[in-house]
Structure 1
């Protein structure tokens, strides 16, 4: 499938579309909704990210998707065109699971250090190996091609890896640059976040005037900042964060007691906070604000709906509100690290694998009733 060029990011436009659906449900007209949905989605970049790993085809002659839905959301660092970087890791891996009732949504974060068997991938000559799951994207990304072709290969190998381990097939996928949320958050006037544990930034500092200063992180030396600048410390408590603060908080893991599990939780919270702010701040009822929101960010998202119209997804999932996003943690949020040949890996316990199997079979809701310890804090 050839990539379709778009001007604005996926989630900004999906927020607009979801808002349109809420307006329709509240008494708007279907014709108006279809017009706005078309305007909001006609410039999204769409390509085949999953290749032969799709779980469901488009439903003919209707605008509703049958059965449970699993979408693969993957976050990576942005790469400039012409970059010499040949290895790109998937920084964030999330399975968005929606049951057949289409009235609930679950965000399941996959530990990026999970030790798994990555299958051979003929498109890049990769022969297969056993290592961290975030390497799967890298082995697909490597090689010749345009940036979108390399990213598509990376997504394909990651989806294949997850499918072979869990049996989950995906109805669609989105490749996300978390930094792409910055303009969206700015257009929303910030997002409300609750810091559950004091955390020191690995990327931002504060100067003597209280101004934020961008630093960079070294694996050997930690955060690198200009003289006189101290690392930003996120204090516990709830408050409105601007885009820089919110994205920084969602990236921290080294200074958290539960490491990557804490970061997974905070990234889930950020996604929920963006959705909640968009649906409660008056943006959805103000066409001017909606237009500003859809134009807020740059090229940060690539979408694969496996042939299903974006509008069909929206109409199908209109029963899923921002407050219905349930955050799910593996291993009950506890570290299960093991050192193999000097490398630290994460493993998933049997109950976590059973939880993923419940997502595969569409019984996740029942599983969580029996295992509430897998539900993470939403704020």
Structure 2
């Protein structure tokens, strides 16, 4: 298995920035001792007959991971400048790899999806029915320490909530903060992305500074992302991926986030970033503590090796249609339409390929 192929999927395994996994995994792979060369040796053997051995070759990490596998990728808004701010799950994505581990599907769940969040005694949360994004917030609460919410703990409750809603076992996952995402893109030298519709930023000015927040909302000049292929810096990529006040709302934002992840993965593979130890270290240093990995007792390298046979071009982006939910005339959140729920049923039943063939509108093309 070549490092290029291994990276192709590792870049799709870890965080909201799957690309992060590629970097971390490649560093781990590079630290492993090289296998003995099978070519001719310049040093004659001490004996014409090699000594017998009973030692068995050590299986590679993750050799026992057979699939199907499901990985939860989360992007969070931590507002680190505000003491005690609880992390919110602003992007919730699932990477599904069927049995055979030769292809993968990436889809999003709306952050405002109305779900049943189970009780979580560790955070003293009794359970309730509310928006999916709140699972991260409620789970992050540390009794007796309001100033230091736990992102890892929040992920644990979010994982349980997503698993209950989708009916899928979550094998591993990762959380990355917005600051970490910004740094990742800049350290990689930016990313080239096809902007599929004109998007006006709600938060940023054209020079990257924040717009002024007044009582009626944000005011001042807006950064605008025009349709076409664009080179985005870290703050631009993050800003573009966060915009949901556009035609299509949060469902358009989900599509843009998926497209951005795929563009980052392709950049890492195409430019050979992970084969350059110095560049790998730069990316890891830039991320610092902005990435939280949760593998259920398995190391990230286990999944990278197990999924190394999935080429980047066999990642299918899927959009699940949804609609708003109201109660008494007031907006409560989002729900998946029957077609979106049927996709989850097909996924659980191992019939995803046939389902997408029958419903090609669910595939994201760009």
TM-score computed with the length of structure 1 as normaliser:
0.77
Aligned-pair CA distance for 1:116: 1.9
Please tell me whether the aligned partners of residues 182 and 297 of structure 1 are also in contact (alpha carbons under 8 angstroms).
no
Q: Deviations over 1:233-258 (max 9, x none)?
A: 1111112111111111001111x110
- Alpha-carbon spacing, 1:189–1:362, altered in 2? closer, same or farther (3 Å): same
Q: Which moved more, 1:353-362 or 1:243-252?
A: 353-362
1:233 equivalent among 221, 224, 227: 224
CA gap 1:150/1:199 in 2 versus in 1, 3 angstroms:
same
Q: 1:119 to 1:278 in 2, by over 3 A?
A: same
The residue matched to 1:123 in structure 2 has which SS?
helix
Query: In 2, distance between residues paired with 1:71 and 1:279?
Result: 20
User: Is the 1:19–1:279 contact (alpha carbons within 8 Å) kept by the matching residues of 2?
Assistant: no
Cα 1:217–1:102 shift into 2, 3 Å? farther
Aligned to 2:217: 222
| Cα distance change on mapping 1:202 and 1:258 into 2, 3 Å | same
Could you say which residue in structure 2 is the equivalent of 1:91?
A: 90
Aligned to 1:204: 204
The residue number in structure 2 matching 1:32 is: 34
Write out aligned runs for 1:1-379 (5 A). Answer: 14-16=21-23, 31-32=33-34, 63-80=63-80, 83-85=83-85, 87-144=86-143, 145=145, 150-206=150-206, 211-215=207-211, 221-225=216-220, 230-254=221-245, 256-331=246-321, 335-341=322-328, 342-377=330-365, 379=366
- Counterpart CA distance in 2 for 1:60 and 1:170 is 22
Gaps of 5+ in 1: 1-8, 34-58
CA distance in 1, matches of 2:359, 2:147: 41
> For the Cα contact (< 8 Å) 2:23–2:280, is it kept in 1?
yes
RMSD, matched Cα: 3.0
Greater Rg, structure 1 or structure 2? 2
Q: Is the 8 A contact 2:318 2:362 kept in 1?
A: yes
8 Å CA contact 1:69–1:99 kept in 2: the answer is yes
Distance (whole Å) between structure 2 residues aligned to residue 115 and residue 295 of structure 1 = 37
Distance (whole Å) between structure 1 residues aligned to residue 247 and residue 61 of structure 2 = 51
Give the 3 Å change call, closer, same or farther, for CA 14–118 of structure 1 in structure 2. closer
Following the alignment from structure 1 to structure 2, what is the Cα–Cα distance between the partners of residues 94 and 278? Answer: 20
When residues 147 and 270 of structure 1 are mapped into structure 2, their CA distance, relative to the original with a 3 A threshold, is: farther
SS for the counterpart of 2:268 is helix
**Aligned partners of 2:259 and 2:299: how far apart in 1?**
28
C-alpha separation between the residues in 2 aligned to 1:288 and 1:327? 32
**1:168 partner SS:** coil
For the residues of structure 2 that align with 1:161 and 1:126, how far apart are their CA atoms?
13
Q: For this pair of structures, how many residues does the alignment match?
A: 327
> Residues 84 and 16 from structure 1, CA distance in 2 versus in 1: closer, same or farther, beyond 3 angstroms?
closer
In structure 2, how many angstroms separate the alpha carbons of the residues matched to 1:62 and 1:113? Answer: 35
Which stretch of structure 1 is more off in the superposition, 76-85 or 242-251? 76-85
